[in-house]
Chain A
Amino acid sequence: MGRMRRLGWLVLAAAAGSGLPGQNASPPERVDFVRDVKPVLEQSCYSCHGPKLQMGGLRLDAKESAAKAIHPGKPDESSLYQRIAGMGDQPRMPMGGKPLDAAQTALIKRWIEQGAEWPDHASAKVEVVQEHWAFRPPQRPPIPKTRNKTWAKNPIDQFILARLEQEGLSPSPPADKVTLLRRLSLDLTGLPPTIEEVDAFLRDRSKNSMEKQIDRLLASPHYGERWGRHWLDAARYADSDGFEKDKQRWVWFYRDWVVNALNKDLPYDRFVIEQVAGDLLPNPTQDQLVATGFLRNSMINEEGGIDPEQFRMEAMFDRMDAIGKSILGLTIQCAQCHNHKYDPLTQEEYYRLFAFLNDSHEANIAVYTPAEHQKRAEIFRAIADIEAGLKHRMPDWAERMAKWEDQVRNDQPDWTIVNATAEDISTGGQKYLPMEDGSLLAQGYAPTKHRVQLIVKTDPRKITAVRLELLNDPNLPLGGPGRSIKGTGALTEFEVATAPADAPEKTTKHKIIRATADISLPEAPLEPMFHDKSEEQKKGLRVTGPIEYAIDGKDTTAWGIDAGPVLRNQPRKAVFVLEKPIELTKDTLLYVYLSQKHGGWNSDDNQNNNLGRIRLSVTDAPDPVADPLPANVRQIITSIPREKRTPEQMQAVFSYWRTTVPQWAEANEKIAALWKQHPEGSSQLVLQRREKPRQTHVLMRGDFLKPGKAVEPGVPAFLHPLPPGEPLNRLTFAKWLVARNSPTTARAIVNRVWQAYFGTGLVETSEDLGRQSEKPSHPELLDWLAVEFMDSGWSLKKLHRLIVTSATYQQTSRVTPELYQRDPYNRLLARGPRFRVEAEIVRDIALAASGLLNPKIGGPSVYPPAPEFLFQPPASYGPKIWNEEHGPDRYRRAIYTFRYRSVPYPMLQTFDAPNGDMSCVRRVRSNTPLQALTTLNEPLFFEAAKALGAIALKNGGMRDEDRITYAFRRCLARKPNAEELAELTAFLNKQRPRGEEAAWTALARVLLNLDETISKE
């Protein structure tokens, strides 16, 4: 092939060459580098092989560097020519750009043939191009010497001090103990210290009193909440899908996993591996599956008109962005559409990284709390005991079961699976995606009421009955087989018709006389989430029940499959027998109508009750009935010889068979009753590896409709290599992300931790350590911290301890005008940090100071007070659930506030909390009038003021001064000075005529609104 191609090029080159000036003259005109060649290189090559970037270390504007690509006189041996001509197996250059035209290619060939003359003056001066600092793995730098030998408490201080000394500055004195304890409490737990904690600390005269406080705070379960919130920003955590529908989703298990992982001090490398590939670890625990929710925090678009694949791709891009910013500290999304302009990341490399992630289902699994796990274990043990008892009392059970198997093995007629397509308009906007096994998977928008018309074209045949299978799919809630949030669905009506292929609207209906199914439940009213506000609903007519309900002609009754936890998520089947067989010819279309009208009133919310994955089959056998055997049992007994079965397979057959044994009726009922006690659990979005990963392609301009070259998983050349010999899967990728030789991973996380403490990272652009990043203020310190962090087993708690025990951290934050002018952003750290705390902490301080705080950790997200209209149209696209809490959940920490992406909780939004649309590793810190209105007037802040006033009256002592001091300390930890006390006393006295309670509320409100209250000093 290579030869053919080369020959082709020669011919082309010759043909095109004739158009060049002077081409007709013989011998060919001499090619001039400056006049002829350079413009071509400039236009096509320099953007990647020029002054800005040197992909593969090649610079084509500099003679010395270019020499390795040019073999004068021998174009075919010059990689420059080989690559632009597309010779050999290497991708043609310019990569991802427009190929050189034939004339340009011929020109370069001729130039090389003629000796590739390149005048020195036309060559860029090659300075040794320094590799960008962040692309070299960090090395532990020597600790600098300082003139001041007494200030430093640990190596951090020596780095900081050395720089200060260089700048002619000196550090500030330490902050006083009270200020420091408040700073530590806010930093490590996000809560202010209590008065008792302050007093205990003041009383403690021991040398290591500070260390004791740090230990206490690091061990507090609130540590995980405070630092978990940072990671949740990076993980773009939210409790809803985003986009137009923005439906609720259940992902709080992931949120709690983050909090717990930090509390346990799960090493950071492990923390990352579990989130990126927890499902691929050997025998993954529920926690490790939940951790993969990290990648699933992407938004989901279920607008009516969408192509689900388009938005799966959007989600994939979002995952790449999240991994880039949060783990690698690099912005990689530019390379989605083209080679990265500044960092040496090609578009192809981007899609090779992408390929690692392109291997999974968008899965949703059932998850259980520890208490629920225990309950499950009890149930399973009880069932196992009963089953063991049955076997014990019937010693020949195995022979009997074998006999039964022989009886039923061949008792089913032949069914032919037929491919169906859904008629566009009838889907109500739901997408029925064809699957390889002939089934259709419902995705995208989920109307709560529709009647889909399935069109089947099949070979001529006689049909006596149609079978409908409801199948599981990892992409359905809890694996399906339905699309309701519990993975169930209801079939309102099943109808069959035919029409001539040339007149598809001329339908003939075919009556169904009998229906059977492998599950028949008693009539049951619809659950509240499926209520539709209709008259029928009010009268209680909308019900589910046995399969006959699907052929009774009524829109109020449906075949239901909700057999309770776990059992409701089994595959099901139903068989519909026609009154008269249909003789299908090649000119007949078979129509099957699946009416699904048992959803609720709002199609924009989680109220659908649709079938999730369906498959149709037909038979010509007389009067068939639905196979009572579960599909997996049928499969085992027909295709796996008894002696080759695993214990699980034997158990599956036994568990079904026992239900057919008449004398075991009592035991069967007991087991059924046990299943009814099974906990409901919750659900969680996770990754689940597909059997076959998808083929990844480079997408032209990032457009999923324009797939280019197919690519295999791989990592960018400018970063560290993959571990040799490991399989190219997501787990290897996860391990690569946190490999010891990763140049950016450890730097990125230590930099962000630093940013949280000091307001600005050692590299200000904490999301991007690439070439466009800001220069680090203390490069050696950054590297030292990164290496120290890895050497300490990637322990975040050790990193925190290191920082907060430093003299740097413990300085006072007071600033003189001189110092402020010298260093307004405190990059040199000649003083301690002082800035407004994050949104969540603003709320938490008010709750804690007022005594309202409910410190409960974890659990479903909650609804503190919010203006109701925000969740209703026209403020919100659709009506949203916001059941304001009136019990203790009203006062939970802000990390637990329910987060709708399209309607962010106003208080948190006003204080700059990101809404989870994309990964965020650096928040804005604004200071606006809307913030003032919020802390002054928002209902929960006002409740806090009342509570703080009341508690000051009750517990603050007898004198005004004591009570004011008490309230003041609950907010600020320190005591008021005389001037402050005077101001507050005057204010209180002025408000006294309003009544004692009102006056104290007013006073507390002033305290809660102070800048200092919501600042870390």
Chain B
Amino acid sequence: MPCHDYLYRGLTPQGVARRWFLEKCGIGLGAIALHSLTASAASTDPLAPKAPHYTPKAKHVIFLFMAGAPSHLELFDNKPKLAEYDGTLPPADLLKGYRAAFINPNSKLLGPKFKFAKYGQSGAELSELLPYTAKVVDDLTIVKSMVTDAFNHAPGQLLMNTGSQQFGRPSMGAWVTYGLGSESKDLPAFVVFSSGKKGPSGGNSCWGSGFLPTVYQGVQFRGSGDPVLYLSNPPGVDEELQRDSLNSIRKLNEMRLAATGDPEISTRINSFEMAFRMQTSAPELMDLSKEPEHILKMYGAEPGKPSFANNCLLARRLVERGVRFVQLYHEAWDQHGNLVKDLKQNCKDTDQACAALVQDLKQRGLLKETLVIWGGEFGRTPMVQGGSDGRDHHPNAFTMWFAGGGMKPGITLGETDELGFNVVSNKVHVHDLHATILHLLGFDHKKLTYRFQGRDFRLTDVAGNVIQEMLA
């Protein structure tokens, strides 16, 4: 993914030189001085914390990406009329210009497979498949009026993540860390987990840095083994040897820095130091055995057994440690068939942990500054695919929910028509969602830009409006 442009682009030459002077002088004072000086040379570290355009509501984001596209009609968007029309053909004018991925759009309508009820003070409607979500429903902002442009997985996931169906654009997490930097000194700023049946269709590009410097790309963590690639020392290298080796590498690099004057060497020295810190901090982070029993139970997490639930708990731990953007992919929601069975399973795998995450962040006072996002790349057709137990891809309407980070809790926004086919009020396009998320993080989405190939690019491309109704 990475291409173009330089790490320190946008920095004034004077800034670069100043950093170098600090470091150059630091060498004379010995290694300790060097470290503290380089560590505080904040203006030159591409991941140093930065202030956004306005005072932000949210400082962290956890995006629970339900890849494969969950059925809004079975989970959030109750359509009694659709049940009545089950087995009939949709109205012809509805299908004008409509393209479906697999089915002939003129397929029979399929009634919802699960019951709905109202929950909480807010009286939000949810499917019987989401008993845990029902308990935190008053903390959620449910948006039933999401729309997107893509109806195939890879392009749809790219659009949701990068604002474009084409490859090569930076992901939201990359934009956010580019804009805000990181508050964590020894963990990556943007961390990605993957669970479920498959990896996301968009592959690494879903968390890529596009044309932004590669420091902003998401770092994949794994629920078991080394959380980060090559985190463990090679066989036969113990901690003492690692420390000795790093000391020696540092001393030799410092000699070279003195001989050549190239400040890039001091950046490399820092990189090695942070790598060493990460070797301690990442395993500590991943060690869920220290979590109290009731917390593990709340999430349904089991130490040592990778799961979506574990990843949710890890997401909280990452946010606690200052990580800016955490994304959890759970690719399991592509129910062209087996709608009933698979949805039951998927909800069993995710409902409890999603709700626990919201609840846990709240009880720790982190929900205020942490935006939790739940959703996939599009919705599913009110029309049946196959016999009577599947739905095709549907871009015209789908549901997402949000919690914390300045979102207005306890509301349900937007409506679809009686079939759940089109949005009829409060349409929220993916670009609008991006604008709104950036707004909560303190950015004017039109001003968070990056010059590439002679043009200022942004996450929202040339569109996007902040949806005021979603804001607290």
Nearest A residue to B47, CB-CB: A928
Whether the pair B154, A928 counts as a contact (CB closer than 8 A) is no
Chain A binder among B12-20, B134-142, B294-302: B12-20
A452 → chain B closest CB, angstroms: 14
- The docked-state distance in angstroms from the alpha carbon of A334 to that of B461 is 12
Whether the pair B203, A924 counts as a contact (CB closer than 8 A) is no
The interface bits of chain B over 231-252 (1 if a CB of A lies within 8 angstroms of the residue's CB, else 0) are: 1111011000110110011011
Q: Residue A100 at the B interface, CB < 8 A? A: no
With a cutoff of 8 Å between Cβ atoms, the chain A residues found around residue B188 in the complex are 930
With a cutoff of 8 Å between Cβ atoms, the chain B residues found around residue A902 in the complex are 199, 202-205
B31 → chain A closest CB, angstroms: 13
Tell which of A817, A930, A984 has the most Cβ of chain B within 10 Å. A930
Q: Residue A994 at the B interface, CB < 8 A? A: yes
Q: Residue B194 at the A interface, CB < 8 A? A: yes
B180 → chain A closest CB, angstroms: 18
Whether the pair B454, A875 counts as a contact (CB closer than 8 A) is no
Size of A's binding interface in residues, CB under 8 A:
99
Taking CB atoms and an 8 Å cut-off, the chain B residues in 221-269 that contact chain A are 222, 225, 228-234, 236-237, 241-242, 244-245, 248-249, 251-253, 255-256, 259-265, 267-269
Q: Residue A821 at the B interface, CB < 8 A? A: yes
Given contacts A768-B453, A923-B4, contact A934 B230 (CB under 8 A): yes
A921 → chain B closest CB, angstroms: 8
Whether the pair A874, B256 counts as a contact (CB closer than 8 A) is no
Whether the pair B244, A990 counts as a contact (CB closer than 8 A) is yes
With a cutoff of 8 Å between Cβ atoms, the chain A residues found around residue B100 in the complex are 305
Q: Which of B167, B215, B276 is within 8 Å of A917, CB to CB? A: B167
Given contacts A303-B154, A821-B17, A922-B4, contact A1010 B249 (CB under 8 A): yes
The interface bits of chain A over 914-933 (1 if a CB of B lies within 8 angstroms of the residue's CB, else 0) are: 11011010111111111111
A747 → chain B closest CB, angstroms: 16
The interface bits of chain B over 185-212 (1 if a CB of A lies within 8 angstroms of the residue's CB, else 0) are: 0001000001111111111110000000
Q: Residue B43 at the A interface, CB < 8 A? A: no
Whether the pair A877, B331 counts as a contact (CB closer than 8 A) is yes
Whether the pair B454, A768 counts as a contact (CB closer than 8 A) is yes
With a cutoff of 8 Å between Cβ atoms, the chain A residues found around residue B272 in the complex are 929, 932, 936, 1009
Whether the pair B102, A925 counts as a contact (CB closer than 8 A) is no
Whether the pair A815, B5 counts as a contact (CB closer than 8 A) is no
Whether the pair B4, A835 counts as a contact (CB closer than 8 A) is no
B282 → chain A closest CB, angstroms: 10
Q: Residue B115 at the A interface, CB < 8 A? A: no
Given contacts A246-B203, A927-B268, contact A1009 B245 (CB under 8 A): yes
Instruction: Kindly state the interface size class of chain B when it binds its partner.
Output: 35 or more
Q: Residue B271 at the A interface, CB < 8 A? A: yes
Q: Residue A434 at the B interface, CB < 8 A? A: no
- The docked-state distance in angstroms from the alpha carbon of A913 to that of B204 is 14
Q: Residue A429 at the B interface, CB < 8 A? A: yes
The interface bits of chain A over 865-906 (1 if a CB of B lies within 8 angstroms of the residue's CB, else 0) are: 001010001111110000000000000000000000111101
With a cutoff of 8 Å between Cβ atoms, the chain B residues found around residue A983 in the complex are 248, 251-252, 255
Q: Residue B220 at the A interface, CB < 8 A? A: yes
Whether the pair A1011, B265 counts as a contact (CB closer than 8 A) is yes
Nearest B residue to A834, CB-CB: B262
Q: Residue A276 at the B interface, CB < 8 A? A: no
The interface bits of chain B over 404-446 (1 if a CB of A lies within 8 angstroms of the residue's CB, else 0) are: 0000000000000000000000000000000000000000000
Whether the pair B13, A823 counts as a contact (CB closer than 8 A) is yes
Main secondary structure on A side of the interface with B? loop
Whether the pair B152, A305 counts as a contact (CB closer than 8 A) is yes
- The docked-state distance in angstroms from the alpha carbon of A813 to that of B267 is 18
Whether the pair B199, A873 counts as a contact (CB closer than 8 A) is yes
- The docked-state distance in angstroms from the alpha carbon of A860 to that of B68 is 34
Chain B binder among A722-730, A769-777, A795-803: A769-777
Chain A binder among B51-59, B82-90, B117-125, B385-393: B385-393
Q: Residue A33 at the B interface, CB < 8 A? A: no
Whether the pair B241, A991 counts as a contact (CB closer than 8 A) is yes
Whether the pair B256, A914 counts as a contact (CB closer than 8 A) is no
Given contacts A301-B152, A816-B261, A927-B7, contact A425 B386 (CB under 8 A): yes
- The docked-state distance in angstroms from the alpha carbon of A215 to that of B251 is 37
With a cutoff of 8 Å between Cβ atoms, the chain B residues found around residue A813 in the complex are 260, 262
The interface bits of chain A over 810-828 (1 if a CB of B lies within 8 angstroms of the residue's CB, else 0) are: 0001111100110111000
Nearest A residue to B46, CB-CB: A926
Whether the pair A820, B252 counts as a contact (CB closer than 8 A) is no
Q: Residue A331 at the B interface, CB < 8 A? A: yes
Whether the pair A1006, B214 counts as a contact (CB closer than 8 A) is no
- The docked-state distance in angstroms from the alpha carbon of A938 to that of B101 is 42
Given contacts A307-B99, A914-B2, contact A926 B7 (CB under 8 A): yes
Q: Residue A1012 at the B interface, CB < 8 A? A: yes
- The docked-state distance in angstroms from the alpha carbon of A991 to that of B240 is 10
Whether the pair A1006, B252 counts as a contact (CB closer than 8 A) is yes
Q: Residue B455 at the A interface, CB < 8 A? A: yes
- The docked-state distance in angstroms from the alpha carbon of A677 to that of B74 is 59
With a cutoff of 8 Å between Cβ atoms, the chain B residues found around residue A135 in the complex are none
Whether the pair A820, B263 counts as a contact (CB closer than 8 A) is yes
With a cutoff of 8 Å between Cβ atoms, the chain A residues found around residue B271 in the complex are 927-929, 931-932
With a cutoff of 8 Å between Cβ atoms, the chain B residues found around residue A934 in the complex are 229-230
With a cutoff of 8 Å between Cβ atoms, the chain B residues found around residue A1006 in the complex are 245, 248-249, 252
Nearest A residue to B4, CB-CB: A922
With a cutoff of 8 Å between Cβ atoms, the chain A residues found around residue B198 in the complex are 873-874, 876-878
Given contacts A815-B262, A920-B4, contact A824 B203 (CB under 8 A): no
Whether the pair A244, B195 counts as a contact (CB closer than 8 A) is no
Whether the pair B236, A814 counts as a contact (CB closer than 8 A) is no
Nearest 10 CB-CB pairings of A with B: A305-B101, A772-B454, A902-B203, A244-B201, A932-B275, A920-B3, A821-B17, A917-B167, A929-B275, A942-B234
A-B contacts, 25 of them at CB < 8 A, read A243-B154, A244-B201, A425-B385, A815-B261, A836-B264, A867-B229, A869-B225, A874-B199, A875-B220, A904-B204, A918-B167, A922-B5, A923-B4, A930-B219, A931-B271, A932-B271, A936-B233, A980-B252, A994-B241, A1005-B237, A1006-B252, A1010-B253, A1011-B253, A1012-B253, A1015-B262
Extra contacts besides A314-B166, A821-B13, A942-B234 (20): CB < 8 Å: A772-B454, A813-B262, A815-B262, A817-B20, A874-B329, A903-B203, A903-B204, A904-B1, A913-B2, A920-B3, A924-B213, A929-B272, A929-B274, A930-B228, A932-B272, A936-B242, A983-B251, A984-B248, A1001-B236, A1012-B256
